[in-house]
Amino acid sequence: MKLQLKNIIAVVAISTLMFSCSSDDDTPIVEGSTGKMEIEFDNSVNGDDLILNTNYLNTNGETLKISRFSYIVSNFVLISADGTEKVYPKNESYFIINEGEQLTTVHLVNVPSGDYVKIRFGLGVDQDRYGQGETAQQDFWDVAAANNLTWTWSTGYRFINFQGTFTSPLVSGEKEFMVHQGSNSATDNYREITLDFPTTAKVRTDASPAVHLIVDANKILDGEAKLKLSDYMNVANTSASIMGGQALITIAGNTTRMFVVDHVHANGH
């Protein structure tokens, strides 16, 4: 009898949960209403969680110990199944992701209620925004500077700050490395990424979906194009750095494939 009662309770609980989920799915969109969305950037290295100061071997035969991984994401656009785009306000659309400071979630507020199937965002700061001058973006510049994502104003933002130490069969001992991705007077390395959601993100006044992205830092050097840090050693042979030239253009291409949507929570975590 007790077993039957437990089974009945379990069935009722499951039925209630299914009804609740079904009801959420059918909640109509109220014209003019808004909600929230979270976008979580879960940093990783080739399928493993990114843990700073831990060794990771890449297919270039180099072992990286990453001490810093931070970057700028910007210009968020949410896209519905019919192609309608809802552009997040530009002045509010620049965010810092910094693994070392546990800054890994973007909070979008006052998002128009809707059923979204894609997201587009920028990696870095676009030339239009940068061209508005330092005064127009002083607050964000200060935050970026505090997270080691700026050079001087004349040379602009670091879009990605990726550094640590590495070992290689081609280099004696452990060496420091720095990869600082940004734009310069010769090239615009700002890139936009468009990602499909595996399930629809339904934003309502009382429903705030959370989009979980996996970000693979390994792609920076070990993506579609391969770059060996040992090829970028300084004259003294003490460290490797990539901060300009064709290598950054190549890295900019790699980083467009660094982001994947893992799943969407219907209403937060």
Q: pLDDT tens-digit profile of 187-210?
A: 899 999 999 999 999 999 999 999
Compute the average pLDDT of residues 105-123: 97
Q: pLDDT tens-digit profile of 222-241?
A: 999 999 999 999 999 999 99
The answer to whether residue 11 scores a pLDDT higher than 90 is no
Nearest to 64 by CA among 194, 226, 222, 231: 222
Q: What percent of the chain has pLDDT over 90?
A: 81
pLDDT-derived band at 25, boundaries 50, 70, 90? low
Boundaries of domain holding 237: 2-265
Domain count, the chain: 1
Which pLDDT belongs to residue 26?
67
The answer to whether residue 28 scores a pLDDT higher than 90 is no
| Prediction pTM value | 0.89
Which pLDDT belongs to residue 249?
95
Mean pLDDT (the chain, rounded)? 90
CA torsion angle 238 229 51 223 (round to 10)? 170
